[in-house]
Amino acid sequence: MPPDPTLQGFRRQFAEIMESEDLKPLERVVVLVDDLDRSLPDTVVETLEAIKLFLSVKKMAFVIAADEENVASAIGRRLATTGQPITLRLYLEKIVQVPVRIPALGRDQTEEYLALLMLADLERIDEAVARV
């Protein structure tokens, strides 16, 4: 039987591969998506639509690191051109199942974080010099 060229066919074939005997030891595939909020609106929606293809496949998980407001804005701009009657929040809720919101760092916290990064770099430099 030839492969099904539809999106549903692709999803079904991918699910079969993930459930195959060769991949039984594989517990989970985690895909990290970073900086989605910095993409063009078309790219944001296309990426989320691609992720939706895999959401129902066992063993698949996605971690999306992005500013929710920027992503929602990009979705809004894209959906406004299509005339689709869907709200931004509803669209995101169908994809993002466990949102984890991380508050922005204040000035003092940012300075502390940068200082810790610099200290870590100094420790690595000291270790490298000691090995020479």
What is residue 104's DSSP assignment?
P
Please say whether the beta carbons of 12 and 4 come within 8 A.
Answer: yes
Q: What is the pLDDT of residue 93?
A: 81
- 87: tokens are 């709200």
Mean pLDDT, contiguous 10-residue spans, the chain (132 residues): 75 88 90 92 89 85 89 83 68 83 88 90 81 78
Q: What is the pLDDT of residue 47?
A: 92
CA 61 to chain centre: 9
Question: What residues does each domain of the chain span?
Answer: 7-101, 105-132
H helix or E strand, kind and range, residue 59:
none
Q: What is the pLDDT of residue 83?
A: 65
**Pairing verdict, β 29-34 and 60-65:** parallel
Backbone phi, then psi, for 26, in 5-degree steps?
Answer: -70, 120
